[in-house]
Amino acid sequence: MTKRAVLIGCNYPGTKAELKGCINDVRRMHRCLLDRYGFPAEHIVVLIDTEGSADAQPTGKNIRAALSDMVASAVPGDILFVHYSGHGTRLPADDDDTGYDECIVPTDMNLITDDDFRELVNKVAEGCRITIVSDSCHSGGLIDKAKEQIGESTRRKKKAQGNGKCSGSFKKLLCTDAHKEEEVEVEQLITSKSLPLSTLIEILKQKTGKLDIKVGELRPTLFDMFGDDATPKVKKLMKVVMRKFLGGATDGGILISGCQSDETSADTIPDGDERHAYGVLSNAILDIIAETGGKVSNRKLVVRARKLLKQQGFPQHPGLYCTHQHLHARFIC
């Protein structure tokens, strides 16, 4: 049995979409996989948008390649793990339970959709287990047509909420001052991990030089920019090919989402120091792993994460998508 992982962190430095804690999330998860779960360092691929080799950048092409390589190299009995921390967004769709295509946002804006994750999971060898943690907005349902075990995304009847805003806001929390041994009030910078379509369009305008891009032209624009490296769903639509429905596909994937499909996830700087920034789902998961020694089921992990985020004042609701056989299985392995 081999343990393999792909860790993806997008801070989008120097852009209007900039976040602060995603690379920290990946670094902490990398250490956790090595120390707690025994993943070999040579089987962990890290993609973060810091200066360095272009091959290590979390572009759409590089993310797809890393995920495909991991799945292709796996054999029955292997443990596969994916952790993404970064922006999420939604594109209007007419063939999805939520009415949208949920997407993650690579550093180059080459979106990866819920259909991409479904196709990835369908390629996993029988006898392997793949767990995906997505600390991003609108991440509920990120594996298309996966069974929702904990969450409200596919059951909600209310009108879907907007894509949220990426501007920061301050929230006051009570924390313990280690030097004074008393509770003090501190300001915590909170940033939404939702990438509004308006911001996506603005970034695409900057990248392409085209100033007339509208919502209805997003898919053609992405196809023009990325061609064969674009999400397969964009390519199918551009070629006017009937969409392929995946009903009845075997679901061996486990998705832990940072929030519901119509919610946003938070990126926070708890004490105003960017070195300590983190995604709140990633932080909650790592805290729970530390509390339990990593011996916690998928269900208990998500239930506990929901309670922690509620206690901390965050309105997002993590979700769990998997078959019943994985509901009470241990997280990762």
pLDDT tens string, the chain, 333 residues long: the values are 999 999 999 999 999 999 999 999 999 999 999 999 999 999 999 999 987 777 789 999 999 999 999 999 999 999 999 999 999 998 877 555 557 789 999 999 999 999 899 999 999 998 999 999 999 998 888 888 788 898 887 665 444 443 333 334 434 444 444 444 455 455 567 777 778 888 888 888 888 888 878 777 787 888 888 887 887 667 666 554 333 333 333 456 899 999 998 899 999 998 888 899 999 999 999 999 999 999 999 999 999 999 999 999 999 999 999 988 899 999 998
Catalytic residue among 87, 138, 317, 326: 87
In the structure encoding, which two tokens stand for residue 269, read together?
A: 């700087």
87 is catalytic: yes
CA pair distance 169, 269, nearest whole angstrom: 11
Residue 132 lies in a domain: yes
Q: Residue 56 CB: number of other CB atoms within 10 A?
A: 16
Beta bridge partners of residue 254, listed in sequence order: 131
Residue 236 lies in a domain: no
Sign of CA dihedral 92, 93, 96, 99: positive
State the CATH number of the domain containing residue 21: 3.40.50.12660
Residue 125 placed within a domain: yes
Q: What is the pTM of this model?
A: 0.79
Residue 214 lies in a domain: no
> 332 with 37: CB under 8 angstroms?
yes
Task: Characterize 181-205 residue by residue with b for buried, 16 or more Cβ atoms within 10 angstroms of its Cβ, and e for exposed.
Answer: eeeeeeebbbbbbbbbbebbbebbe
Q: Domain for residue 203, yes or no?
A: no
Q: From CA 259, how far away is CA 88, in angstroms rounded?
A: 11
Residue 21's domain comprises 3-155+245-267+277-327
Q: Which is catalytic among the residues 10, 22, 103, 137?
A: 137
Indicate the number of domains in the chain: 1
Q: Which residues of 146-178 are buried (b: 16+ CB within 10 A; e: fewer)?
A: bebbbbebbeeeeeeeebbebeeeeeeeeeeee
